[in-house]
Amino acid sequence: MNILLVGEYNRSHKSLKEGLIYLGHHATVVGLSDGFKKVDVDLKIEHHYNKGLYKKLKVFIFKLFKIDLHSVSVKKQIKGLESKLSNFDVVQFVNESCFLCQPKTERAIFDLLTTWNDKSFLLSCGTDFASVRYALDKKFRYSILTPYFENRVPKSSFSLGLKYVEPGFKQLHEHLFENVRGVISSDLDYTIPLENYPKHLGLIPHLVNTDVIAFEPLNLDEKIIIFHGINRTNYYKKGNDIFEKALDIIALKYSKKIDVITVEDVPYTTYINAFDTAHILLDQVYAYDQGYNALEAMAKGKVVFTGAEQEWLDYYNLEEDTVAINALPNAEAIAKKLEWLILNPEQLMVISKNARAFIEREHDYIKNSQQFLDVWEKA
């Protein structure tokens, strides 16, 4: 089978490509390189207007003529790649807005790619209409919109994803859902909002290539090292402010027992190597399940504070605090969990081994790539 994977988000499509190739299929990833993370793609769509004078020009032209130069550029690049983006058996879009374009342009690109190819599918693994609408209606106990509800983040913040519920993106959502064969979710944060959608084909957990990620037994001879990676754009959305408050609490009591490593806005390859020496990784707060960064850290054997809510425990039949630590939106609660691990370092060893085993069992890139193939063939 020949598969076109459109868009990239936290290595979702790159890992799927690796699994598909292992299984004897051909796959091509086309898209932006996922911002500052700089994830590799096969056919790169250049983002010409995201910085410097070009960005200022884009803003000026949009204000004056309501023309988005980025959208014009991306559509032109896609058309120029028609011969390389045609005649695939399956085309899968990583998101409802793969290229950060205006909704009319995203729709036009979708129509081009679905016309040039056979079956089309949509992956729900990042903010989209269904997940944002669900969060906006406060159906989650807490969500990425919690900082907005608490007036800590303005409605205009790009990180909230509120653009997805605006009329243009709602129409884009409806057009995609009408024309794809089905929608596949990658974790429970996107599965739950899609439960009543007839075209939802179910959950296939994020793929992790453990062949290239070595498990690293924790060394507890010296201080416990806590790693905190900050994406400044998503600072409140990820709960970085809450993590920092929790670290302040812990530092007052255990400064001689811990070291804290903080990095900010670094490329993916730098990030993934920066926490190699850490025992604990602080990932995100407002989630029920884990995203790719957390999973890759767990594969390395890190004890990760992330989304690990009761729904996740029930789905995978796990007990609390055995595979990952649920990071509640409460600095004192997080500090209490950190204190428990600092005072009981043997638990770090247990959770570390369990985390790796969980990734190998539930997120294996080969097994889960086969699940994608099965779903595509049946749809």
Q: Write the CATH number for 323.
A: 3.40.50.2000
CA distance 290 to 238: 12
Do 147 and 260 fall within a single domain? no
CA distance 42 to 29: 5
Do 271 and 175 fall within a single domain? no
- What pLDDT, on a 0 to 100 scale, did the predictor assign at position 280? 98
Do 201 and 242 fall within a single domain? no
- What pLDDT, on a 0 to 100 scale, did the predictor assign at position 201? 98
- What pLDDT, on a 0 to 100 scale, did the predictor assign at position 135? 98
- What pLDDT, on a 0 to 100 scale, did the predictor assign at position 274? 80
The CATH number of the domain where 73 resides is what? 3.40.50
Give the domain range for residue 233: 224-362
38 pLDDT higher than 70: no
123 in Cβ contact with 186 (< 8 Å): yes
Tell me if 218 is assigned to some domain: no
Q: Which are the contacts of 21, defined by CB distance < 8 A and separation ≥ 6?
A: 27
**Angle CA 10–369–18, to nearest 5:** 60
Do 53 and 154 fall within a single domain? yes
Name 306's bridge partners. Answer: 326
Tokens representing 254 are 């255990």
Confidence of residue 21 (pLDDT cuts 50, 70, 90): very high
Tell me if 212 is assigned to some domain: no
Residue 37 CA, chain-centre distance (Å), reads 12
- What pLDDT, on a 0 to 100 scale, did the predictor assign at position 277? 92
Model confidence pLDDT, tens digit, residues 134-184:
999 999 999 999 999 999 999 988 889 999 999 999 999 999 999 999 999
Q: Which are the contacts of 100, defined by CB distance < 8 A and separation ≥ 6?
A: 32, 47, 70
* Side-chain half-sphere exposure of 138, counting CA atoms within 13 A: 5
Model confidence pLDDT, tens digit, residues 298-332:
999 999 999 999 999 999 999 999 999 999 999 99
Tell me if 187 is assigned to some domain: yes
At what angle are helices 365-378 and 12-22 packed, to 10 degrees? Answer: 90
Do 111 and 143 fall within a single domain? yes
Of all residues in the chain, the percent with pLDDT exceeding 90 is: 90
Going 320 to 323 to 327 to 332, the CA torsion angle's sign is positive
Do 322 and 306 fall within a single domain? yes
Tell me if 156 is assigned to some domain: yes
Do 354 and 300 fall within a single domain? yes
- What pLDDT, on a 0 to 100 scale, did the predictor assign at position 259? 96
113 pLDDT higher than 80: yes
- What pLDDT, on a 0 to 100 scale, did the predictor assign at position 35? 56
Do 160 and 257 fall within a single domain? no
Tell me if 214 is assigned to some domain: no
Q: How many domains does the chain have?
A: 2
Do 325 and 266 fall within a single domain? yes
- What pLDDT, on a 0 to 100 scale, did the predictor assign at position 39? 65
Give CA separation, 281 vs 68, 77, 298, 320, in Å.
39, 39, 9, 17
Do 231 and 307 fall within a single domain? yes
Mean pLDDT of the residues in the chain: 95
Tell me if 217 is assigned to some domain: no
Model confidence pLDDT, tens digit, residues 204-237:
999 999 999 999 999 998 899 999 999 888 999 9
Confidence of residue 266 (pLDDT cuts 50, 70, 90): confident
- 304, amino acid identity: V
268 pLDDT higher than 80: no
